[in-house]
Amino acid sequence: MAEAIAVRSAVMTAASSNIRSLTVLSDSKVLISMVIAKESRPTLFGILFDIYHFSSVFDSIAFRFVPRLENSEADSVAKLALALANIPSSYGV
C-alpha cells in the first residue's frame, strides 16, 4: 500500500506542477501491473482511482517496473525521506 501511495503522490504532484510527460518507476511489479491494466482492489480503490484520474492530464505517462536490485539508490533515498518525515519538528508541528 505504501508504494501505491507514493505513486499517487508522484502523479498528483507532477500533475499539479504542469508536467506534461511522466515516467513512473517502481519496484512493485504487482502495482505496476495493476496500473497498466487499470485494475483495482478494494483496499487500493481510492488510491488507484486517483492515479487513473490524474494520469489523464498528461500528454504522455508511462509506468515501468524496475527490479529492486536495480533500484537500491532510489530505495535508500525513499527510506531516508520516510525516516526524516517521522522525526518530530522542533516547532511542534
Q: pLDDT (tens digit, 9 = 90+) per residue, 14-73?
A: 999 999 999 998 889 999 999 999 998 899 999 999 999 999 999 999 999 988 777 777
Number of structural domains in the chain: 1
Kindly state whether residue 53 falls inside one of the protein's structural domains. yes
Q: Which residues, other chains included, contact 21 with Cβ-Cβ below 8 Å and sequence gap of 6+?
A: 58, 59, 60, 61
Question: Please, which residues bridge with residue 21 across strands?
Answer: 60
- Rounded to an integer, the average pLDDT of 65-83 is 76
Residue 60 forms part of a structural domain: yes
- Whether residue 38 lies inside any domain: the answer is yes
Q: Kindly state whether residue 72 falls inside one of the protein's structural domains.
A: no
Domain that holds residue 36: 2-67
Q: Is residue 16 part of a domain?
A: yes
In a domain, 83, yes or no: no
Q: Which residue has the cell 508536467?
A: 19
Asked if residues 3 and 16 have their Cβ atoms less than 8 Å apart, the reply is: no
**pTM for the structure as a whole:** 0.75
